[in-house]
Chain A
Amino acid sequence: MSATEAHGPMHQFEITRYKEISLGGYDISFTNSALMMVIAVIGITLFTVLSMRGRSIVPGRWQSMAELSYEFIAGMIRENIGSGGLKFFPFVFSIFMFVLFLNLIGMVPYSFTVTSHIAVTFVMAFAVFLLVTIYGFIKHGFGFFKLFAPAGLPLYMYPIITPIEIVSYLTRPLSLSVRLFANMLAGHTMLKVFAGFVIALGFFGVIPLVVIVLFTGLEFLVAVLQAYVFAILTCIYLNDAVNLH
């Protein structure tokens, strides 16, 4: 790693091992990524548990926010899956809060954006994919294959539609993970690139500075929006498994 690279726009995505740990020959070092995930888990837990400490009938600010996130995800599941999806409520809630907190923690200067790594987003997306597939087969048996052959089509359409459905089903983990990873990567890289312009342009650096300020606001929107998108797509995929269409 050269000196210029260390301060380049990609430097912020560097994984730093704080403590080298090896388990049975496998590298499970505690890195900056792991630290951010631990902070996110602690943050979410404090947010959801401490805010409800009062258990008041008339909620305060923090309790309102915790209840709002609860009602938000509960409503998302009710609308997209129906009552059969309530057993996935903790999972979707955890996914949403995890991604949201990781994205927002990534907005803090000098922190690290865990969701800007494809390794993390792909594992999350693949977990959703596995959950949907396994639950779908448990619930519907081989009838789950009907997902790839939607009813009510003219017969000659099936040879075309079925491969398309299968491919679109199999690429779900990829599209789900790349969407989140690419959004975070692009946004954060863009901010760093423009930050480099501020220095390089001298006095006229004011212009990219303004752009950065506006872009930071947009990045907060993207951080929340991508968490929402990830959660709602999880709901839509789970809907296939719960209510075979």
Chain B
Amino acid sequence: MPQLDFTTYLPQIFWLLVTFTVLYILMAKVALPRIGEVIEERRDRIAKDLDKAQRLRAETDEAIASYEKALKDARSEASQIAQSTRDKLGAKSDTKRKKVEAKLAKKLNDAEAQITAMTDAAMAEVGTISNDTTANLITALLGEDLDAKKISKAVNAQLAS
């Protein structure tokens, strides 16, 4: 059994110590720090990226909130403006309408008064014309002049009937 050949122990052990020492130094000083660095770097990078994503999301939420608030404000402002405009316009048209109505009412009154006056005048004139016509007719028919007072009395009686 070659494992029990003691003359081979020394060379085996010697080269084991040499190669393992070399391996240990290479691993401890060169290989492992490099791998560790890369893994660390990746961990940092992922943590940073996650942080950034979180921050961006918070910012987005904030932006959405402020946008919605602005939208709400704008809406309420718009409805307010619309309401006030409607109110203003309503008031304006009211006063205008009232003014026009008042004007029309006055015109109507004036017109009525004028008509009344004209009717009165016309009626008054009707009396004179009737008197004159009657006097002329009587003159033409009877050939004599009758007392104007009598004629007017008779005409008035006729008109009143």
Question: A-side interface residues toward B, CB under 8 Å?
Answer: 10, 13-15, 17, 21, 26-31, 33-34, 37-38, 40-41, 44-45, 48-49, 52, 55-57, 59, 63, 66-67, 70-71, 89-91, 93-94, 97-98, 114, 116-120, 123-124, 181, 185
Contact = CB atoms under 8 A, between A and B. Distances in A.
Interface stretch (B8-16, B53-61, B134-142, B152-160): B8-16
Contact of B31 (A28, A29, A48, A57): A48
A94 B25 CA distance: 9
A49 B31 contact: yes
B8 A67 contact: no
24 contacts: A26-B14, A27-B7, A30-B15, A33-B11, A33-B15, A34-B15, A37-B20, A40-B23, A41-B19, A45-B31, A48-B31, A49-B26, A55-B38, A56-B38, A57-B45, A67-B35, A94-B24, A94-B27, A98-B20, A119-B8, A119-B9, A119-B12, A119-B13, A185-B3
B40 to A, nearest CB: 11
Contacts of B8: 15, 31, 33, 117, 119
A90 B42 CA distance: 21
B10 A49 contact: no
Contacts of B38: 52, 55-57, 59, 63, 67
A94 B32 CA distance: 10
Contacts of A56: 38
Output the residue of A71, A90, A123 with the most chain B CB within 10 A.
A90
B26 A45 contact: yes
A150 to B, nearest CB: 33
Of the four ranges (under 10, 10 to 19, 20 to 34, 35 or more), the interface on chain B belongs to 35 or more
B32 to A, nearest CB: 6
B34 A31 contact: no
B143 interface: no
Interface string B29-56: 0111011111101100100000000000
B17 interface: yes
Given A31-B8, A70-B39, A49 B34 contact: yes
A38 B19 contact: yes
Nearest to B38: A55
Contacts of B31: 44-45, 48-49, 52
Contacts of B121: none
B51 to A, nearest CB: 16
A14 B3 CA distance: 8
Nearest to A90: B28
A34 B19 contact: yes
B89 interface: no
6 smallest A-B Cβ distances: which pairs? A34-B15, A90-B28, A48-B31, A15-B8, A37-B19, A28-B14
Contacts of B26: 41, 44-45, 49
Contacts of A40: 19, 23
B102 interface: no
Nearest to A91: B24
A119 B31 CA distance: 28
Given A15-B5, A90-B28, A185-B3, A98 B15 contact: no
Contacts of A91: 24
Contacts of A38: 15, 19
B22 interface: yes
A84 to B, nearest CB: 18
Contact of A90 (B2, B5, B10, B32): B32
Nearest to B30: A49
